[in-house]
Amino acid sequence: MNHDALVAEMRTLRDQVVGVTDTAVAAVDGLLIAADTEDAIDPNGLAALAAASLGLARRIAAAALRGPLRRTVTCSSGGYTAVYAVGETAILVVVGDEGMNVPQLHVEARSAVERIGAILLAPEPEPEPEPGPGAVPAPESAYDPEGVLG
């Protein structure tokens, strides 16, 4: 998983939707994977509670026979918290103020969830191999015996 790409995707969602203040991605067991939250929010606690709320919401959706759960939204006096399922293994948590554009969030989150899912499943990029002992460093410029390159 590319952590930088994940955080960039979370920040893009914040930039696309008016009122989004914080985001986090966690495993469905509540373990935090990445967070872009203000200092006042405990991202580990947020991730754990959001995972629990999504688990309960999935059970409610199953009991109501309305198909698989896509999201759950909590509306409080100071704003909203939305939790989206990212496949079967992760969640996206979005926190917003009372001015958050919830319908726009649902539209933008649909594609963000797909991209986040792809990032989570992608292998970690391979690091550049370290030169072995006795390796000769590559020259800074190309070999140019004729002086053509200047």
Mean pLDDT of 10-15: 95
Q: Where do we find the tokens 């509670």?
A: 49
- Asked if the model's pLDDT at residue 6 lies above 80, the reply is yes
Q: Which residues contact 37 (CB under 8 A, 6 or more apart)?
A: 22, 23, 24, 43, 46, 95
Side chain identity at residue 110, one-letter code: R
The pLDDT of residue 124:
72
d(CA 125, CA 45): 30
d(CA 80, CA 95): 6
**Residues 32-52: pLDDT tens digits?**
999 999 989 999 999 999 999
When the pLDDT of each residue in the chain is averaged and rounded to a whole number, the result is 89
Mean pLDDT of 52-67: 93
